Amino acid sequence: MTTDSFAREVDDAVARALAEDLGVEAAALLAASPTVLERDATTAALFDPKERFRGAVNARQPCVVCGVAAAQRAFTMLAEAAGLAGELRATPLAADGHEVEAGTSVLWVEGPARVVLAAERTALDFLMVLSGIATEARRWQRAAGPALKVYDTRKTYPGLRALSKHAVAAGGAHNHRAGLWDMVLIKDNHVTRIGSVAEAVRRAKTARPDLLVEVEVESLADAIAAVEAGADVVMLDNMDDDAVAAAVRAVREAAARAGRGVEIEASGRVTIERLPRLAALGMDRVSTSRITLAPPIDFGLDEE
């Protein structure tokens, strides 16, 4: 993603999250009305509009930080919506991808208490979810070692695909396709409908010669057929170590006969403990949903 496209993804996600929490439409939130703060029944009832808040968002446990821009934007966007943009300051104290210890401050916030406290949950949620993904991504990639690349999948929380993949990259792992549009990935249901791996690859290469073509296979024969048909990546699905070893040898031999390189990926039944074995077997990459569906990291907002 470019800087501009990332900023748009952040703004879109934050606007939807704030609107959800305040019980308004995103368009109404962005229409800039002081009455938007009345939607937080608790802070509107308890605090005078002139009351100020100064404090920091702190990590409650060691982690790889991610989501700082989204957390910062939650505070500034709500201030803008309330017509108080000039009265709030949110300053990043850590960058996405940094490893921090428990107790580390990652964002400083000061401004109208009603704005800060109304945006608090949204800001923390982005940090919790995205830092969880980045932390798990780094844990998996470190376990895999330098030769084996760990990739994410399309199994992400709906509406958070782009930010989740940003978090994977911040953690040092790798992004698989962004969606259905930027790569061909032939899976079992496609092959069943078409009739064979070879025919599925042939059709895909003919229709979309501009895109990478990956094929999910469950047998040695289909792995070889995928290479011979022109697949760029062969995904070995749910194979044990013995089957993986045989498939790697067969794919390498078929690729050599074809005179081109083919990447080999493992998916299904991939655990972090298994990564060193898969690396030793000669895999190029693994893909897993474990990183994008990682447990969240605890963050809190503490007043000075």
- Positive or negative, the CA dihedral 76, 85, 303, 21 is negative
As a whole number of angstroms, the longest Cα–Cα distance in the chain is: 76
Contact between 96 and 170 (Cβ < 8 Å)? yes
Residue 209 CB neighbour total at 10 angstroms: 9
Q: Which of 208, 298, 274, 219 is nearest to 251 (CA)?
A: 219
Of these residues, 16, 142, 154, 155, which one is catalytic?
Answer: 155
Residue 205 falls in the annotated catalytic set: no
Residue 155 falls in the annotated catalytic set: yes
Of these residues, 96, 136, 237, 265, which one is catalytic?
Answer: 237
Residue 12 — φ and ψ, nearest 5°?
-65, -45
Residue 216 falls in the annotated catalytic set: yes
Contact between 44 and 144 (Cβ < 8 Å)? no
Q: Which of 29, 39, 273 is nearest to 139 (CA)?
A: 273
Q: Which of 44, 34, 41, 124 is nearest to 78 (CA)?
A: 34
Contact between 190 and 200 (Cβ < 8 Å)? yes
DSSP state of 174: B
Residue 4 falls in the annotated catalytic set: no
Of these residues, 16, 89, 121, 202, which one is catalytic?
Answer: 121
Which residues, at least 6 apart from 206, have a Cβ–Cβ distance to it below 8 Å? none
Residue 237 falls in the annotated catalytic set: yes
Q: How far apart are CA 65 and CA 80, in angstroms?
A: 26
Of these residues, 216, 222, 265, 284, which one is catalytic?
Answer: 216
List active site positions: 121, 155, 187, 216, 237
